[in-house]
Structure 1
């Protein structure tokens, strides 16, 4: 059984309170029994040494004193770390990438133990590798610091660390999103991470086994990183009230997240928001329909409980029937199962009642059920009473304006439901304009994608779509790419300051520097060709 304490000021610290993690597959096989074991372990009724093999780890729970100590350690270390030359700070990212490659399989197994289907876990680790890979490092180095010589002056345009950055990862993807803090560290910040009490093991594993040794190899002061498993409301309030905190990276739902961002501003903190997504994938009439159908089926990774999956498809009316046939065939092969089983993509869904409400509303307002719609047990059998999984569900709805009134189309639903919107027929030039407008009026803006061959259509889409932190053409919707950011977006996805999220840039600020030798201030004060005598 893995055991982790808080990491504060370069030391692992332990408390008398623990939270235990039971393997997700054991939970699925015996929910009541597994919850009883976890409860008894958490309350100390069962000694840790008598925990069954289904218990994979335990984490020490910190309190407000630990959070305060973490903030103080970070504030004390940030000055020297921020002043460290960029090339040395980038060594940390290089070492982190190397460690992630070395421990790839172990990280996957950690995610599987927490309940991520193996395919989903491998996708998450691929995101960490791409985000820390050489192409991304080289690109961000140019964004963090540039030098120009002009006459007797040397100019530097650089990003300067904001200071102490606090990160609150989401419960659905704690490990992968906590790792986004690595680039806040590379920018010269000190980082304090809250491990959620409901899912702390992956975060503490990643910090202890990956980030800490990478920082050590890069020669960073150990105090630049702290991680504490703690209660969310108390910790977030403590961060807001602390004069030591500069930025807060927050992951969560849009309504709550936008409100929290406003509160950050009121308290003088910079919010870096990663909120909901309602991504649109457009399929044009000349698209490769087999590849497009495969990309749309990515909507069901993790049962759609991921912000960056395609949440809505818009399909040219000429190819809608053919695409739906291909999509139906692929979706029917997607099944539930234990996370360890090969080929499983679906995760248990908490909001089954909300799923039924959204689906029933869509059908009542004229949508057609293409496939799915039922609750399932882990073995794939139908169970409308207590099934923990939902059948991957596709609906068809006609008309752009008529479809936007459906909750399934206008909101992030966060379960395995993909609406396929088929616009009314119109000349192609008008239709692409309507689709671009439909995409731009989506209040969210994480990723948007297009499948098309016509260069004019591609040009109109790329040139016209303003929302979204990432646009992809003829590619996996969820796949990670070097150089481009893994997260980020506009509107309800990132709040008023939303954009493509490079954490190194969003937790730093731009500064210009000029270093000269022998410049006469009497002449330097004037920028024009004629220098008047003033002194």
Structure 2
């Protein structure tokens, strides 16, 4: 698979307020498959290009797929000033017009889907992972998602002779720092953020900038101009995250910091945001649970568990551990093990590949050793291999790891279960029944379900959790009582996305103290209530306005809430 000629070695400058500007040097991106086959030669080529020591032949090397300009601190400062000026002008564009921009982006992305996937593959995402990222981006911008946002952002009705409006107003200037492991997908939160009426500054991570630059230079920026956004509404930088975050914190022209990263860094940044008067929107880490009940469709549940290995487990909301009913544990575990053994490594262009090079290889071995020392059984995997699946101590890949742990108390002591593990390691946990339970199978299962729900809710992380079961009582208890997580999935792909359903957001270490399911339209706006009097008498009769008849005097002319027609009580208005 190769990039279309039009995208051959594109050069993306700094986008400053919608205007291309030269930066301070370039970040060059080699084709990932070439880097895997010839790591030393390709890294040397990249170093010569990035440090301006390259020959003419280096610049023409077919292993290169593009370059992105490095932005300067002065450009970061200028982007903030331009955004502050542009934002109120952009916010005055009618909401429906701004929402149309998201609809147009959705259709444009569908039209250029093959091109989008190929850019991600050249950046190192396997084809299947890139296609999943495409589906998530399309869900985020789907017309049904936009319709839900419109209803959530504006409500109008009449109360006691007044027009009452509940409206969400944009926060102002939002600065977004995407995740390095999934830069373009996390950067996609910028599209609904812009449609909500905010100006946006996006910092493409220099470690992996190409796909983010592609989407916002080629797709988003032209649409903004077409839909009437003033210059300054969007800037795209490419600079190290830490100094850029410091610039945003210190600037009076930054209102929100939308950050993807680790829990400890997110906690520090949250404190700094509050100190500097910024709104923190934190998307941090995941340690998701997948629960398999005795009546689950085990083959589909095993497929969901295998999503752990997408991108070698380097996705925040992949399932990290599975809690399996003892009655089906052996069969389920064997299904997962047999599938894991069939996974192989290879270049990202191969459509059967889901594994990628692992960044935290040494940490994987540490976590694996810790689990085995505490009683976990290693069922397969853990070897370092190269792109040809040949074992080598310097191999960038790890063969998929599957562990089995017997007992919830034992599992709670293992790093493989209690920490976010960013590598291809799945832990299957088999409870020892319900301690103290006696009597019927139904009574034992009831206590076991209590224990599993308590285990899920005790997880300090809270991104996604999922369940496989047929018993409606079990399903209702899971969806009613599991409070941990921004998204719950039942009998469905754990990492799959849907229109309207939030893609990101969570509780605890996953989203910080303000964490919840993240709909960017809502997270980057604030609710305002508006009451508009019509000039009718009685507007200062507060009891009457509340629908309360006073003990003396003339009866109130206010219509009691329960007496209004359903149509009036639920009136909606689309601007």
Same fold (TM over 0.5): yes
Corresponding position of 2:316? 307
Corresponding position of 1:505? 522
* d(CA) in 2 for partners of 1:445, 1:276: 8
Q: Quote the offset at 1:99 in angstroms.
A: 1.1
Does structure 2 conserve the Cα–Cα contact (< 8 Å) formed by 1:523 and 1:531?
no
Corresponding position of 2:360? 351
Corresponding position of 2:212? 203
Specify whether residues 162 and 48 from structure 1 end up closer, same or farther in structure 2 by C-alpha distance, changes over 3 A only. farther
* d(CA) in 1 for partners of 2:530, 2:143: 27
Q: TM-score, normalised by structure 1?
A: 0.97
Does structure 2 conserve the Cα–Cα contact (< 8 Å) formed by 1:165 and 1:247?
yes
Corresponding position of 1:484? 501
State how many pairs are aligned.
532
Does structure 2 conserve the Cα–Cα contact (< 8 Å) formed by 1:112 and 1:340?
yes
SS in 2 for 1:514: strand
Identify which of 459, 469, 474 aligns with 2:486: 469
SS in 1 for 2:488: strand
Specify whether residues 531 and 268 from structure 1 end up closer, same or farther in structure 2 by C-alpha distance, changes over 3 A only. farther
Corresponding position of 1:425? 433
Does 2:466 correspond to 1:449?
Answer: yes
Q: Quote the offset at 1:102 in angstroms.
A: 1.0
* d(CA) in 2 for partners of 1:484, 1:106: 26
Identify which of 35, 50, 55 aligns with 1:27: 35
Does structure 2 conserve the Cα–Cα contact (< 8 Å) formed by 1:72 and 1:244?
yes
**1:30-429 pair list within 5 angstroms:** 30-47=38-55, 50-383=59-392, 385-426=393-434, 427-429=444-446
Specify whether residues 172 and 276 from structure 1 end up closer, same or farther in structure 2 by C-alpha distance, changes over 3 A only. same
Deviations 1:47-102 (A, max 9, x none): 56733011111111111110011111110011122222210110110111011111
Q: Quote the offset at 1:354 in angstroms.
A: 0.9
Q: TM-score, normalised by structure 2?
A: 0.91
Does structure 1 conserve the Cα–Cα contact (< 8 Å) formed by 2:174 and 2:257?
yes
Corresponding position of 1:6? 14
Specify whether residues 532 and 402 from structure 1 end up closer, same or farther in structure 2 by C-alpha distance, changes over 3 A only. same
Deviations 1:98-121 (A, max 9, x none): 111111111111111110011000
Q: Quote the offset at 1:434 in angstroms.
A: 0.3
* d(CA) in 2 for partners of 1:57, 1:182: 23
Does structure 2 conserve the Cα–Cα contact (< 8 Å) formed by 1:120 and 1:301?
yes
* d(CA) in 2 for partners of 1:503, 1:368: 42
Q: Quote the offset at 1:522 in angstroms.
A: 6.3
Specify whether residues 310 and 51 from structure 1 end up closer, same or farther in structure 2 by C-alpha distance, changes over 3 A only. same
Q: Quote the offset at 1:336 in angstroms.
A: 0.9
Moved more, 39-48 or 113-122: 39-48
Does structure 1 conserve the Cα–Cα contact (< 8 Å) formed by 2:24 and 2:72?
no
SS in 1 for 2:528: strand
Corresponding position of 1:518? 535
* d(CA) in 2 for partners of 1:411, 1:379: 31
Gaps of 5+ in 2: 1-8, 435-443, 554-575
Q: Quote the offset at 1:524 in angstroms.
A: 4.1
Which structure has the larger Rg?
2
* d(CA) in 1 for partners of 2:469, 2:394: 42
Q: Quote the offset at 1:181 in angstroms.
A: 1.0
SS in 2 for 1:222: coil
SS in 2 for 1:230: coil
Q: Quote the offset at 1:16 in angstroms.
A: 4.2
Corresponding position of 2:557? none
Does structure 1 conserve the Cα–Cα contact (< 8 Å) formed by 2:379 and 2:402?
yes
Deviations 1:406-458 (A, max 9, x none): 00000001000000010011300000000000000000000000000011111
Q: Quote the offset at 1:381 in angstroms.
A: 2.2
Does 2:549 correspond to 1:529?
Answer: yes
Deviations 1:167-191 (A, max 9, x none): 0001111111111111111111100
Does structure 2 conserve the Cα–Cα contact (< 8 Å) formed by 1:375 and 1:382?
yes
Q: Quote the offset at 1:531 in angstroms.
A: 9.7
Moved more, 198-207 or 218-227: 218-227
Specify whether residues 260 and 532 from structure 1 end up closer, same or farther in structure 2 by C-alpha distance, changes over 3 A only. farther
SS in 2 for 1:205: helix
SS in 1 for 2:98: helix
Kindly report the root-mean-square deviation, in angstroms, between the aligned alpha carbons of the 2 structures.
Answer: 1.4
Specify whether residues 320 and 10 from structure 1 end up closer, same or farther in structure 2 by C-alpha distance, changes over 3 A only. same
Corresponding position of 2:573? none
Q: Quote the offset at 1:516 in angstroms.
A: 2.1
Q: Quote the offset at 1:217 in angstroms.
A: 2.9
* d(CA) in 2 for partners of 1:521, 1:443: 53
Deviations 1:442-488 (A, max 9, x none): 00000000000011111111111001000000000000011110101
* d(CA) in 2 for partners of 1:329, 1:181: 40
* d(CA) in 2 for partners of 1:222, 1:23: 33
Deviations 1:233-279 (A, max 9, x none): 21100000000100000001111111111111111000100001000
Corresponding position of 2:453? 436
SS in 1 for 2:268: helix
Corresponding position of 1:496? 513
* d(CA) in 1 for partners of 2:176, 2:284: 13
Does structure 2 conserve the Cα–Cα contact (< 8 Å) formed by 1:25 and 1:113?
yes
